[in-house]
A and B are shown apart, each in its own frame.
Chain A
Amino acid sequence: MTSVSYREALRLAHYEALERDERVFLMGEDVGSYGGTYAVSKGMLEKFGPERVRDTPLSELAFVGAGVGAALAGLRPIVEVMTVNFSLLALDQIVNNAALLRHMTGGQVSVPLIVRMATGAGRQLAAQHSHSLEGWYAHIPGIKIVAQGTIEDARGMLAAALKDPDPVLVFEYPALYDAKGELADGAVDISSSKLRRTGGKVTLVTYGGCVPKCLKAAEEIDGEVIDLRVLRPLDMAPVLESVRKTRRAVVVDEGWRSGGLAAEVMARIMEEGFYDLDAPVARVCSEEVPIPYAAHLEQAALPQPEKIVAAAKGLFG
């Protein structure tokens, strides 16, 4: 085991993907000569050449669409949409084409497309570059949504996603790029939630950028942390199992509160775990404001360990 950063783990994953399978190629804005906005694809153009590491024009609709076409034609495209905000320009390609073509053709075609994008706030990129819209995509049947909240997943999820015959949206968290950790070799799945910390008093359900925040909060409140990892389809079994034990749950989600993914997770706990609960399920989400630019305001708008601790304590008398 070696210590690497989240960014290096991502780079390694992409490097290996390109090396392992000739059908795999990477395209997106600045992924080539610039080495990726977040330097994840640094050096790859030199190693794999412009055929397989392609810079694209600033048109998400066009190049995600090209990715759909390439996938239909038998390639394994990894399309980088720089941040989830820009993916709004490609919504039609993702929601109407990638997600639906298998269905619309009665199973004649499939779209083995990877769309990877950065998501979340916390780096003073201001309101237009700080969205957390994973929950939106998790609403759509036909695509799989995964969130890389750990170094293990940053390293392993891409390979698992490339094996999937259908489109997978792979979310990565710039707030974690410099996080360091041990790199295990083991492969990961993209079908299950995982217990990240064992505890006795309260279950913290989260994903992505909030995983480290929950782990920190859990120290103080004897919390059990479940990393959802896969936002669609949700794997609730470990969550329900944990709630059976702790009888209390806080859902932590960097998305906004109203109509968010946290609400969905809470609803499922109500549906399937109601009689295990000793207190109403609580949630910690982002404040319902455009994400502020000023650092202190931005931090105040996001879920933080202190807020998670306070919400958890609120479940006790």
Chain B
Amino acid sequence: MIEFKMPALGSDMTEGKLLEWKVKQGDAVKRGDVIAVVDTSKAAVEVEIWQAGTVQELLTEPGTTVPVGTVIATLAAPGEAVAAPEKRPEKPAEERPQPRRRISPAARKHAEDRGVDLDKVEGTGPGGSVTVEDVERAAKRPVVEEKPAVKPLPEKKAPPVSDRALEMRKAIAAAMARSKREIPHYYLSQSVPLARATEWLEAENARRPITERVLMAVLQLKAVALACMKFPDMNGFFRDGAFVPGPSVHAGVAISLRQGGLVAPAIHDAQELPLPELMRSLADLVRRARAGSLRSSEMSDPTITITNLGEGGVETVFPIIYPPQVAIVGFGTIARRAWILDNDIRLVPMVSVSLGADHRVSDGHRGALFLAEIARLLQEPEKL
């Protein structure tokens, strides 16, 4: 049997589109006959055959593009019986299993350790496989890979917004997929009365100039930061199979961006900042996050994340940890609800505080105590 393959009609041709067959099944051909017309992207070329034979089966439909070297027809050699073409059950293309991408075991492990998204790594090993060197190279590229974050935009050539949004989406996808894949989350939530905190804050803000007023979100932030001091197992990283406590509380604050996506940069040493200063840091961070001018340290070292979705009326957040962190605290909306206080039903401003924590590092009991500590701290706003 003779196999007739898509020829390379020029050294730069990697695929060709079959425009037309000049022969049909059963035709006898001789050396030099034109049997097909192929579009090479430069011109339609008549393709000759260099062996005599009888056309047995035409395998490629006109209009189809195939790589150079693909067998597009079979012919019986002179003297060989022409076999009836086999009926091939045609499977729709999407049902055929995609060949698995080649990633060496060492590269796979290395990428996992470094948190590199293998989908974004170009393979240069044998057969285009991804090797450790490829992962190393990808890891050295700017941060976008791993951080669900806008890195500080390059000074000169800012990419168009749509590209950035796309990149950010990919980065968030990678980080969150890794989180859900690797981190066994447990979730807890607790309703916390904010009567005292609200009263105190109102009084406090009343005697401050408008520019120095403090939001409830800042009290919440501070309460979480202080609670982290008592519960160091909520504050830090899970790396190489073990928990590494954070050096201080660098509170990551989830900030949604107007063009979509979110970042969670850190307020450094949040446990030590007085409320007005924390407020200023937060405002500054939000402004710069939205302007796309965050610093790399803010991006890379949050030890815990706080997400506040109260604005949208969310009751309880079920937050997803941002790896390699081990916990994330969510605050829902603050609303007046019936609450029993001093044996009496009262209308009290309430908030639902929730925790998503890494079960490899802490257990529900610790998480519950941590939430209780946040709740306790919020009852003594003057001490924050």
Contact = CB atoms under 8 A, between A and B. Distances in A.
Interface string B124-142: 1111110111000000000
Contacts of A247: 104, 106, 131-132
Interface of A is mostly: loop
Contact of B125 (A274, A275, A276, A316): A316
B270 to A, nearest CB: 39
Given A247-B131, A247-B132, A317-B131, A277 B125 contact: no
5 closest A-B pairs by beta carbon, nearest first, are A278-B104, A278-B131, A317-B124, A317-B125, A275-B109
Interface string A278-315: 11000000000000000000000000000000000011
Interface string B84-108: 0000000000000000000011111
B319 interface: no
Contact of B105 (A274, A314, A317): A274
Interface residues on B, range: 10 to 19
B127 to A, nearest CB: 8
A278 B136 CA distance: 13
Given A314-B126, A317-B126, A276 B105 contact: yes
B123 interface: yes
Contacts of A316: 125-126
A275 B107 CA distance: 8
Interface in B35-89: none
Nearest to B124: A317
A317 B109 contact: no
A278 B126 CA distance: 9
Interface of A: 247, 274-279, 314-317
Contact of A279 (B108, B109, B128, B129): B129
B132 A317 contact: no
B129 A317 contact: yes
A198 to B, nearest CB: 20
Interface of B is mostly: helix
A276 B129 contact: no
Nearest to B131: A278
12 contacts: A247-B106, A277-B106, A278-B105, A278-B106, A278-B129, A278-B131, A278-B132, A278-B133, A279-B125, A279-B126, A315-B126, A317-B126
Contacts of A274: 105
Contacts of B106: 247, 275-278
Interface of B: 104-109, 123-129, 131-133
Contacts of B107: 278
A82 B209 CA distance: 104
B138 to A, nearest CB: 15
Given A275-B106, A314-B126, 8 more contacts: A275-B109, A277-B106, A279-B126, A315-B126, A317-B123, A317-B125, A317-B126, A317-B128
Interface hub of B125, B126, B133 (most chain A Cβ within 10 A): B126
A279 to B, nearest CB: 5
Contacts of A279: 104, 125-126, 129, 131
Contacts of B127: 317
Contacts of B109: 275
Contacts of B125: 278-279, 316-317
Interface hub of B105, B129, B132 (most chain A Cβ within 10 A): B105
B328 to A, nearest CB: 31
A314 B128 CA distance: 12
Nearest to B108: A275
A314 B124 CA distance: 12
Interface hub of A276, A277, A278, A315 (most chain B Cβ within 10 A): A278
A275 B105 contact: yes
A276 B108 CA distance: 10
Nearest to A247: B106
A125 to B, nearest CB: 37
A271 to B, nearest CB: 12
A243 to B, nearest CB: 9
A274 B104 CA distance: 9
Contacts of B131: 247, 278-279, 317
B192 to A, nearest CB: 46
A111 B27 CA distance: 77
Contacts of A317: 123-129, 131
Nearest to A274: B105
Contacts of B108: 275
Nearest to A280: B126
A202 to B, nearest CB: 12
A278 B105 CA distance: 6
A197 B93 CA distance: 51
B109 to A, nearest CB: 5
Contacts of B105: 274-278
Contacts of B129: 278-279, 317
Contacts of B133: 278
Nearest to B109: A275
